[in-house]
Amino acid sequence: MSPHHYLALPLLAALSSAPALANPDAAVAQHSAQQAIRYPQTQRGDVVEDQFGVKVADPYRWLENDVRADQAVHDWVSAQNEVTRAYLATVPGRDALKKRMQALYDYGRYGLPRKAGSRYFYSYNSGLQNQSPLFMREGLTGEQKMLVDPNGWAKDGATALAEWKPAPTGKYLLYAVQDGGTDWRTLHILDVDSGKLLDERIEWVKFSELAWDGKGEGFFYSRFAAPAEGQAFQSLNENQQVYYHRLGTPQSEDRLIYATPDRPKLGHSAEVGDDGQWLLITSSQGTDARYELHVARLDGGPIKPRTLVKGLKNDWRMIGNQGATLYFITDRGAPRLRVVTLDALHPRARPKQVVQERVDTLAGGSMVGQRLILAYMSDAATLAELVELDGRKVGDVPLPGVGSAAGFGGKSGDPETFFNFSSFTTPSTIYRFDTATGETSLFAQPKLAFNPDDFVTEQLFYPSKDGTKIPMFVVRKKALADAKRAAPTILYGYGGFNISVTPSFSPTRLAWLEQGGVYAIANLRGGGEYGKAWHDAGRLANKQNVFDDFIAAGEYLKANGYTTADGLAVEGRSNGGLLVGAVVNQRPDLFAAALPGVGVMDMLRFDRFTAGRYWTDDYGSPGKEEDFHRLLSYSPYHNIASGRDYPAIMVTTADTDDRVVPGHSFKYAAALQAADLGSKPHLIRIETRAGHGSGKPTDKLIEEFADSYAFVARFTGLKIGESTP
């Protein structure tokens, strides 16, 4: 039995024995030790379920209800926000942080250009715009023309331009609208020449690629059936289908291309090869990179997908094609991935290796011109190489330093591509690269309101509980590092779903660093930094490794003089919110403050809402006895250890999050406030119309992080100054 199984018992007992509370609008003191904060009184239910012989209490089940449809939940949210706002108004330095974050955000930011015909399409934010408009140039140096400005779509700035893709000729622009942070999308088509929208509107699109046919006459997309009235926010995502929409026709006439009604849990996405001749449909069942592939020829006749790869066993990512020869990145026979080709005309043929597996993890690739660009991850930093189509290495793509490079999109017949580069202290800078000549030129470089040379980034490797070496980046002021002085520190982690945490720039993070704080990012197991084995070592039966890695990171930072005995805060979002909730329960003594954001906090019910069923690949299934006991052992909601002193906690979520529904955070916060956890505050900050994170307006981002970092500064001892450091 895991040593953490016992942690499930205190909350189970507390939930079933604590006195029932009524009137969710009232504000009363929960504990004598917390008289300074009068938490909203949260009504307790009597839900107790027998699961595999364990009686599990869930007194706050009612907080799972949709805040927009349940008045009691709505009132609870309002009351919690009132208490949190009142508390944050007393936190010193909050306004100074907000002001500085605004200044650091106020720089021009370009998105990666996409070329279609002779036109270049890209996003550009002048600085503090809530959403980034989309622009177009005729030719690389042509005059800039705004095509789409989402900033006028909603008064609160929370309606965003999401995915977009120009037609192959550049005549039309297909784009998705995201309202209030939801995962649902509505598609529109813009006539680029006239600037007018076409009449058709495509709805109920979610988790979809946008794939134009080769002639620009229509496109492929993925959608779900329209949910029942009032169920759009929490409905399960099943029976996804691929459709084809021809321009000039209503959605009701769209042609169904691919569906699997006998396997409703499969999701499907469509993409079209650069030459417009081949349609590839990729199917998956969860978050694991295990795919089935179907191909169809686009020759004007009926579209009849046929199987290319059967069985959900391996990762397959198409990076380009030369006629019927399709190039893929795959982990078949290569845990750190390799490049192979498949023959679309002969689906049963074995893959042919182009580039073999190596020590560095192959993170991505693309076909540009008549060559391949392959991006590798080496200790969480990007390396890029130029390779011939037969696998022979041409040379390295020159990068400005140690950091993250992304992009490299393009077409097999055009040698031009673009990529961006960023680091913890370098905002995204965009470069143009010619695969034929190997020449790199600057496309867009931001003007900075700070000096990057004032900061240093160190990468170190620390031992986890079982001795595994875990990489961690530590970012701080150069003067602080030179003096080897401990300082208040935020430790960030994710550790799941094969996602790699690589160097990236954040204006809000920089504001913390400028004030003399330290920021550490641990590359925990469960991520993708070192391939399949690293991912496997931090999921399912190995999930506790992730928590051990994070706890060990905190212990290392304290033991080696990076932070003070009472100066460590932890931060994580989504799966990282689960991480923070779990480690705080297991080691509340280690942390002074915690920021669990949009977290998966109820591990026994996560699979019952929206996209939650996909996550069983990493977590396991609550409906299986073995998985149930393991999930219960670390579920943040079920393991709050009443009677122990907890760090200051501010939970963050959004009332319109339909990825990790806010009921997770609502229930967790209610349980924190009901338990005897010492004198520090345990608050919840609930944003309106902000979703899981994507599409969040700039002003809401600044407000949230000013609140969050001022909150942890108070409890880690960081003094926030009014002037720019």
* pLDDT band at 724; cut points 50, 70, 90: very low
Q: With pLDDT > 70 as the criterion, what percentage of the chain qualifies?
A: 94
Active site (annotated) includes residue 404? no
Task: Give the tokens for residue 322.
Answer: 């030369």
Q: Is the pLDDT of residue 30 over 50?
A: no
Residue 300 confidence (pLDDT) = 87
Nearest to 354 by CA among 322, 377, 382, 381: 322
Amino acid at 591: F
3-state secondary structure of 93: coil
- In angstroms, what CA-CA distances link 424 with 421, 453, 459, 555, 619? 11, 12, 12, 23, 30
Break the chain into its structural domains and give their ranges.
Answer: 5-102+450-716, 110-234
| Predicted confidence (pLDDT) per residue in 31-50, tens digit | 333 347 999 999 999 999 99
Residue 230 confidence (pLDDT) = 78
Q: Phi, psi (5° rounding) for residue 251?
A: -60, -30
User: Are 604 and 623 contacting, i.e. CB atoms less than 8 angstroms apart?
Assistant: no
Task: Give the tokens for residue 185.
Answer: 């999308």
Angle CA(304)–CA(310)–CA(316) in degrees, nearest 5? 95
3-state secondary structure of 94: helix
DSSP per-residue codes, 273-309: -TTS-EEEEEEESSSSS-EEEEEEE-SSS----EEEE
Q: Which CATH number fits domain 5-102+450-716: 3.40.50.1820, 2.60.120.10, 3.40.140.10, 3.90.550.10?
A: 3.40.50.1820
Q: What is the DSSP letter of 467?
A: S
* pLDDT band at 401; cut points 50, 70, 90: confident
Residue 510 confidence (pLDDT) = 97
* All residues at 6 or more sequence positions from 432 whose CB lies less than 8 Å from its CB, including other chains: 140, 416, 417, 418, 440, 441, 442, 443
| Helix (H) or strand (E) segment spanning residue 620 | none
* pLDDT band at 28; cut points 50, 70, 90: very low
Domains 5-102+450-716 and 110-234 share a fold: no
Strands 682-687 and 648-654: parallel
User: Are 116 and 174 contacting, i.e. CB atoms less than 8 angstroms apart?
Assistant: no
What distance in Å separates the CA atoms of residue 515 and residue 222, rounded to the nearest whole number?
46
Nearest to 364 by CA among 349, 385, 343, 347: 385
Q: Where are the beta strands (DSSP E) in 449-517?
A: 455-463, 469-477, 489-492
Choose the catalytic residue: 208, 574, 665, 708.
574
* pLDDT band at 723; cut points 50, 70, 90: very low
What distance in Å separates the CA atoms of residue 233 and residue 346, rounded to the nearest whole number?
43
Q: Which CATH number fits domain 110-234: 2.130.10.120, 1.10.150.20, 3.30.70.20, 3.80.30.20?
A: 2.130.10.120
* pLDDT band at 722; cut points 50, 70, 90: low
Q: Is the pLDDT of residue 2 over 80?
A: no
Q: Is the pLDDT of residue 1 over 90?
A: no
User: Are 616 and 585 contacting, i.e. CB atoms less than 8 angstroms apart?
Assistant: no
Query: Can you say whether residue 333 is alpha, beta or left, with left for phi > 0 and alpha for psi between -120 and 50 degrees?
Result: left
Active site (annotated) includes residue 245? no
Choose the catalytic residue: 283, 633, 692, 708.
692
User: Residue 456: is it exposed, middle or buried by C-beta count within 10 angstroms (0-12/13-18/19+)?
Assistant: middle
* pLDDT band at 27; cut points 50, 70, 90: very low
Residue 31 confidence (pLDDT) = 33
What pTM did the predictor assign?
0.90
Which residue has 């006991």 as its token pair? Answer: 629
485-494 average pLDDT score: 98
Nearest to 287 by CA among 527, 629, 598: 527
- The mean of the pLDDT values for the chain is 92
689-712 average pLDDT score: 94
Residue 254 confidence (pLDDT) = 97
| Predicted confidence (pLDDT) per residue in 246-289, tens digit | 999 999 999 999 999 999 999 999 999 999 999 999 999 999 99
User: Are 520 and 473 contacting, i.e. CB atoms less than 8 angstroms apart?
Assistant: yes
Beta bridge partners of 317: 329
Angle CA(513)–CA(590)–CA(569) in degrees, nearest 5? 25
User: Residue 566: is it exposed, middle or buried by C-beta count within 10 angstroms (0-12/13-18/19+)?
Assistant: middle
What distance in Å separates the CA atoms of residue 238 and residue 235, rounded to the nearest whole number?
9
Higher-pLDDT residue of 448 and 703 is: 703
User: Are 517 and 713 contacting, i.e. CB atoms less than 8 angstroms apart?
Assistant: yes
548-552 average pLDDT score: 98
3-state secondary structure 657-708: CCCCCCHHHHHHHHHHHHCCCCCCCEEEEEECCCCCECECCHHHHHHHHHHH
Could you give the count of Cα atoms lying within 13 Å of 298 in the half-sphere of its Cβ?
Answer: 25
| Predicted confidence (pLDDT) per residue in 318-330, tens digit | 999 999 999 999 9
Nearest to 319 by CA among 185, 412, 415, 413: 412
| Predicted confidence (pLDDT) per residue in 653-666, tens digit | 999 899 999 999 99
Nearest to 131 by CA among 161, 175, 109: 161
Task: Give the tokens for residue 284.
Answer: 């998956």
Walk across the sheet containing 371-378 and list its strands.
361-368, 371-378, 381-388, 393-396
